[in-house]
């Protein structure tokens, strides 16, 4: 199929529109963890994808630009866009960047009654060659390369920003605020920023600067609802009880929100500023590095697939076959990291002059596909990370989180040797004998 574009102004990219397609070494021990090189030093620049706009909770009824059909754009915006393409051959560029779609639609519905559609839109003709199969059709593209459209989008954005800033100021001036911390029972009154600062300093839960937030009551309600539903705030995985969820979020360092989730966009003032970054994409997230080379990725599944395909090391299969719990996986990875840093084979512990020689040894011997003796890696020293910023440790899976096998009889997490791991926010009761200094001193001496 061929396309001919007849345009009164330069067209923009729109084809991604949702409605158009889709040794054990004896050397000196490490006294402090190493650090991975920064991403700028080890990888090429990556592009990111602009997150989608948040769907409002209130009903927003929008009438079609050309007919009498109406759609609830808080839940059915995609249906409206699909209707415009299929029934009216009409495409809107960068819909996600329109601050108020209802106001935008009302304006252009009136303008299209005054002047022909061709005066505002680029015309895309399809199947123009004799060899093309299918009917010849014309599509109309409306985007902000038209000055009138750009001015309208900026005007709507400014009006929306004013409303958001007014709401933010009302929240700052509100003295009736009263809310309990999401992670403990401490109650906060008046200033909302004190609650967010408390959760950051005491519970390591950081959502950014409080001054950059808006609609904070709705934001806190959403977070509380997720926690009440036993859902991790970052990976959004559900758990069977609250203690398992707390242990998961603590071990995996998931006390944060998922930046790729567009639901959170409406709570950050920056998302109400006008953008023209049509080619900008978002690939934020913690970058983990391969065990055997400098390849890194923000997606854990892609990184594990890389190690499996390129190096022959399948961490998922090893975990399941050897029934490794979370802590054993940590020790195994730290052991491999140390061996690779010292250019030693993880199986035979032979030392090489360079990393390339070690990789060739793995290729010819197949030692990377064989599991080392537990006496080599299952040592307490490997509880401590070889690299301080090793994000691979944060993405480890633990099959027993789902079936509760890692829990003690009293609901406290424990490993296979019944070594109890007490949750970080467990507090000593006021009447406990541990409050007495002499008891604590005796315990320390023993």
Per residue in 97-143, pLDDT tens? Answer: 888 899 999 999 999 999 998 999 988 888 778 787 878 888 999 99
Q: Are strands 137-142 and 90-92 parallel, antiparallel or unpaired?
A: parallel
Rounded CA-CA distance 55/264 in Å is 10
The per-residue pLDDT for 148 is 93
N-terminal to C-terminal alpha carbon distance within the chain: 81
For 375-399, what is the mean pLDDT?
81
For 75-96, what is the mean pLDDT?
89
Q: Which residue has the higher pLDDT, 314 or 21?
A: 314
Task: Report CA dihedral (171, 174, 179, 181) to the nearest 10 degrees.
Answer: 50
Rounded CA-CA distance 365/360 in Å is 8
Residue 424 has pLDDT above 70, yes or no: no
Query: Phi and psi (nearest 5°) for 80?
Result: -65, -45
Query: Phi and psi (nearest 5°) for 384?
Result: -90, 130
Per residue in 400-414, pLDDT tens? Answer: 555 444 444 444 444
Query: Phi and psi (nearest 5°) for 303?
Result: -65, -40
Q: Of 325, 381, 332, which Cα lies nearest the Cα of 33?
A: 381
For 146-151, what is the mean pLDDT?
92
For 218-237, what is the mean pLDDT?
92
Residue 276 has pLDDT above 60, yes or no: no
Strand, coil or helix: 167: helix
Residue 216 has pLDDT above 90, yes or no: yes
- Residue pointed to by tokens 């730290």: 334
The answer for residues whose C-beta is within 8 angstroms of residue 92's C-beta and 6 or more apart is: 17, 81, 84, 98, 142, 143
CB 207 within 8 A of CB 213: yes
- Token pair listed for 397: 């899976």
For 20-38, what is the mean pLDDT?
49
Q: Which residue has the higher pLDDT, 418 or 21?
A: 418
Query: Phi and psi (nearest 5°) for 244?
Result: -65, -40
Rounded CA-CA distance 2/132 in Å is 7
**Range scoring the smallest mean pLDDT among 156-160, 264-268, 299-303, 436-440:** 436-440
Residue 240 has pLDDT above 80, yes or no: yes
**Range scoring the smallest mean pLDDT among 64-68, 75-79, 223-227, 413-417:** 413-417
Other Cβ atoms within 10 Å of 142 Cβ, number: 22
CB 140 within 8 A of CB 93: no
For 259-278, what is the mean pLDDT?
75
For 189-195, what is the mean pLDDT?
89
The confidence band for 45, taking pLDDT boundaries of 50, 70 and 90, is: very low
The per-residue pLDDT for 42 is 45
**Range scoring the smallest mean pLDDT among 50-64, 95-109, 205-219:** 50-64
Angle made by CA atoms 324, 329, 331, in degrees to the nearest 5: 125
């Amino acid at each position: 199929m061929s396309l001919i574009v007849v345009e009164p102004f330069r067209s923009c990219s729109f084809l991604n529109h949702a409605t158009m397609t889709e040794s054990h070494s004896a050397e000196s021990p490490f006294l402090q963890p190493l650090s991975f090189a920064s991403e700028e030093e080890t990888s090429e620049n990556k592009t990111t994808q602009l997150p989608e706009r948040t769907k409002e909770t209130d009903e927003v009824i929008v009438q079609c630009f050309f007919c009498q059909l109406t759609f609830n754009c808080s839940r059915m915006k995609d249906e409206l866009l699909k209707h415009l393409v299929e029934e009216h051959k009409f495409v809107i560029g960068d819909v996600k960047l329109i601050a108020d779609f209802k106001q935008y639609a009302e304006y252009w519905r009136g303008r299209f009654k005054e002047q022909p559609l061709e005066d505002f839109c680029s015309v895309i003709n399809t199947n123009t060659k004799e060899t093309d199969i299918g009917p010849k059709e014309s599509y109309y593209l409306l985007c902000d390369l038209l000055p009138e459209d750009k001015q309208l989008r900026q005007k709507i954005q400014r009006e929306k920003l004013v409303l958001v800033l007014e709401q933010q100021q009302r929240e700052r001036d509100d003295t009736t605020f009263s809310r309990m911390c999401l992670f403990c029972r401490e109650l906060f009154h008046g200033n909302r920023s004190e609650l967010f600062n408390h959760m950051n300093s005491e519970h390591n839960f950081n959502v950014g600067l409080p001054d950059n937030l808006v609609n904070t009551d709705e934001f806190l309600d959403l977070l509380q609802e997720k926690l009440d539903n036993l859902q991790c705030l970052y990976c959004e995985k559900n758990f069977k009880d609250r203690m398992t969820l707390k242990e998961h979020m603590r071990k995996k360092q998931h006390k944060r929100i998922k930046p790729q989730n567009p639901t959170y966009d409406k709570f950050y003032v920056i998302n109400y500023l006008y953008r023209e970054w049509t080619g900008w994409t978002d690939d934020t997230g913690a970058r983990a590095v391969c065990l055997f080379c400098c390849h890194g990725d923000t997606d854990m599944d892609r990184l594990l697939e890389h190690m499996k395909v390129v190096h022959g090391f399948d961490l998922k299969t090893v975990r399941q076959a050897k029934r490794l719990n979370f802590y054993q996986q940590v020790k195994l990875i730290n052991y491999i990291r140390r061996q690779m840093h010292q250019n030693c084979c993880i199986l035979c512990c032979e030392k090489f002059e360079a990393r390339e020689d070690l990789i060739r040894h793995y290729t010819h011997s197949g030692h990377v596909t064989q599991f080392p003796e537990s006496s080599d890696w299952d040592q307490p020293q490997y509880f401590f990370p070889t690299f301080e910023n090793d994000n691979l440790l944060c993405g480890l899976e633990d099959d027993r989180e789902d079936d509760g096998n890692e829990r003690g009889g009293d609901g406290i997490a424990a490993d296979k040797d019944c070594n109890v791991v007490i949750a970080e926010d467990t507090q000593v009761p006021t009447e406990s004998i541990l409050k007495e200094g002499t008891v604590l001193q005796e315990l320390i001496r023993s």
